[in-house]
Chains A and B, each alone.
Chain A
């Protein structure tokens, strides 16, 4: 069985602080994909990043960075110099191939509140 754990239910920071959202996953497959999605207060789900299990390079996109470590089954997300607009619920998700199809398993989400 596969599982995604986001242990931090809610995080509150002051603007300009750095913040890391944790994601730990469980899978028995060697080929899988990991994702992060953002759900702002308006409710839509915005795709942020996709990473395959064979690529352990960290990725940076502006103020966002992701740290993928297979040894600890973690795919953590860091926002540098947070802004009020970063306030949202962030979901980590795992996709692995089952009978030639991929299914996304979502974590329960981390609510980030960035205070001015």
Chain B
């Protein structure tokens, strides 16, 4: 089984809809992250969490919110999706000591 899983893997939605992307991990890592990937721009950090009670904004948090339900679960929500949020979204986990981040398989989101 994969260490970091994301659901759904693909999603098409309409402008204005609320959508939630979920991430679960079995690696036992405290740190979890959400990134988005756009063509030619690499990955950009949306939100990150160092434990269940710690949530921090990344460089592009506007239009997004997150919830850390447990050490192993970190959800990303788009309250009112817009077309420029069409992207590939990655969840990642990491250990404080090494800060190597391990990525989930990604969720391809299309907002029409």
Q: Footprint of B on A, CB under 8 Å?
A: 4, 9, 33, 35, 37, 43-47, 50, 91, 95, 101-104, 106-109
Contact = CB atoms under 8 A, between A and B. Distances in A.
For chain B, which range describes its interface: under 10, 10 to 19, 20 to 34, or 35 or more residues?
20 to 34
Contacts of B34: none
Given A33-B99, A50-B98, A103-B48, 20 more contacts: A4-B42, A35-B101, A37-B103, A43-B106, A44-B105, A45-B92, A45-B103, A45-B106, A46-B103, A47-B102, A50-B100, A95-B99, A101-B48, A101-B56, A103-B45, A103-B58, A104-B33, A104-B101, A107-B42, A108-B41
Nearest to A49: B100
Interface of B: 33, 40-45, 48, 50, 56, 58, 88, 90, 92, 94, 98-106, 108
Nearest to B100: A50
Contacts of A101: 48, 50, 56
B100 A44 contact: no
Nearest to A109: B42
Nearest to B56: A101
B106 A35 contact: no
B43 to A, nearest CB: 4
A37 B98 CA distance: 15
Nearest to B54: A101
